[in-house]
Chain A
Amino acid sequence: MVTGAPVFKNKFLPYLLVAPQIAVTGVFFVWPAAQAIQQAVLRSDPFGLRTRFVGLENFKVLFSDPYYLGAIRLSFLFAAAVTLIALGVALLLAVMAHRPLKGARVYKTLLIWPYALAPAMAAVLWLFLFQPSIGIVARALQGIGIHWNYTLNGGQAFFLVVLASVWKLVSYNFIFFLAGLQAIPRSLLEAARVDGASSRRVFWSVVFPLLTPTTFFLLVMNTVYAFIDTFGVIDALTKGGPGKATETMVYKLFVDGYKNFQINSSAAQSVVLMALVILLTAVQFRFIERRVHYA
């Protein structure tokens, strides 16, 4: 922060300035989060007449519930698939678009636009292609003998949810990888070439290591996206089904809390997810601190 004496001395103005942000934060962030933590250690009877303190009982129940354990496993598998595919594809495209090509600007623009789409909208576009009876891709798959029906087949539903999520994420990653590539001094690459390194060698020994900070940042952001923001994709495409094949932790929290009114269990699920997000944010900021040193 600014070193030395403060720029302004004023008793009330600073409080007035932070007031809007603090008020909304207090009412819509801190209070609900505190409520979630409180509800997580209580249990109410089905009629909401009596509430008692049960300590960590809700968490014990949660972590012995095979459905919740399934949702955890699914979320991690889903996050790994989405993150790895989106990072790989975006890096490949960014490296290609970074070359001095004719029409590079047009390519870049055509790669960026899906950033503008809501996850739920990405889901709608893919749904139209894969709807079992009218989707043209679905019909083509059935034409070559694949029994395509993601509303019945859990594996296919998972595939479709991953596809729509990755599709939307690629442009975000592309923007960052391209910025990362542009920040690498050309002289460094030329030096490597003069030393006789092949372009593959230049990429793996010079470019890729220099992109590590970007890659790491995107890894965290993509994981958060896969856990949190894909709610819209799942809600529009599969609603967690068929069975529980696409029910991630966030989707299960929504179903249990909003649809089934299981207040205490959903509060415990909220706390678990909060812990996860805090962990991811901490990882990200620890790493950003380090990057400031290197920059």
Chain B
Amino acid sequence: MSWVLVMPIAVPFVTAVVAYLARNYPAGRWISLAGSALSLVASAVLMVAVLNEGVVAAQMSNWNAPFGITLVADYLSAVMVVITAITGLATAIYALGEIPEETESLGFYALFQVLIAGVTGAFLTGDLFNLYVWFEVMLIASFSLLVIGGGKERLDAGIKYVALNLVSTLVFLSGIGLLYGVTGTLNMADLREAVANAENQGLITVIAMMFMVGFGVKAAVFPLFFWLPASYHTPYFTISAVFAGLLTKVGVYALMRMFTLVFVGDVGFTHEILIWVSLLTMFTGVIGAAAQSDFRKILSFHIISQIGYMTLGLALFTPLALMGGVFYLVHHIIVKANLFFVAGLAKQYAGSTDLNRIGGLYKSAPLLAALFIIPAFSLAGFPPLSGFWAKYLIVKAALELDAWFIAFVSLLVGLLTIFSMTKIWGMAFWKPHPDGIDPTPDRAPARVTLAMMIPIIALASMTIVIGFYPEPFVQFAQTAAEQLLDPSDYVTTVLGVQP
């Protein structure tokens, strides 16, 4: 049973080792691709196990919780692992088209697989210190991926990224230290009880805020998001897509986990702060996007604004809101990674990502235009695409609480999102190319176009499927939210006894 949980982490690690040793040969990229496909299989197996049993847990090295490291998957973890594997596979295909050979021989695929392993590990671990370790694995891999390929711009972005993320990690680590000092345990399930019984609840709230700041930087919430737009527009599109899809979501996931499982003693205080943080995140993100005129910078700011919706789902702390938050998380990863993929292909065709210097894509690449419309409108929340259901759930949850202002801001931000999506649409697709040239798809070799097109089409169809057939996904999110709000199953499975 326990191997079900290990495989989604072990497969990318093994792939990384093999792909690194084969980095100078064409086989390296196929190994990476095969590894990503295997990861998807492994995560699907995990998903089946979770669907059958509700919560699955395993004690690594046979050291029982709360002393050893526990891997645990509930509905939320399982869906995040699956979506990580899907994004990983899509990215591995996309990389075949974009990544040049000299970058491959620097060990690109190995780093990429380690990144996926780190993200998966963070979703699966049931131990707080282990979570920190996975964050570090992710950070090291992502820093290398950010600067790989060289250039002043990338190094500049990389330094900002790594410096701010290290600060966040330090805050997180101090929080872990304090929490261990107060409770004497770091197993998340065990912490729930220990934190609730702690004498000094004031100190617990302080620690909770440290975690909020630490995870907040990772998730890029207001006012800690500034590293994200400073770095996401410089690396390869493959990289920025996987970053945009997955990295900030790990922060959101960690927030969701800790603030439903452990820090629920003073919901009135902590989650009230989260509400305001979420609203400001949504608003500043979308306003920031409106001021940009670079394809990727607009998308980067939109990540921030969308993160606000997810944390809002957590902050409202009702079953419906959490359900919306989980749904949003899944929908957003697919859509956002896809938009960055589209941006990469648009650059291949038109030569730049600066919206002032490109255009005419609608005429010359109608398929790409259609494929841009799907994730873009989904992001903005157009019915019947997946983003509509996600926003609908959040807004409905706000209305149920009679929180008119929150509902208003959510809708307003949705409107402003459409504004910047139409900006990209108008400038990149409709307006004629400023150089007077016709950006034909022939400018890129067929192999490149094909490798980049497949993941875009696949993710776009997933968006459509979720949009037109949301029922099973909504039901899944509902169960996930129920598990989050009532984690007794989680605690029992991890500790192996009735709490």
Decide if A and B are genuine partners.
no
Residues of B within 8 A of A (CB): none
Residues of A within 8 A of B (CB): none
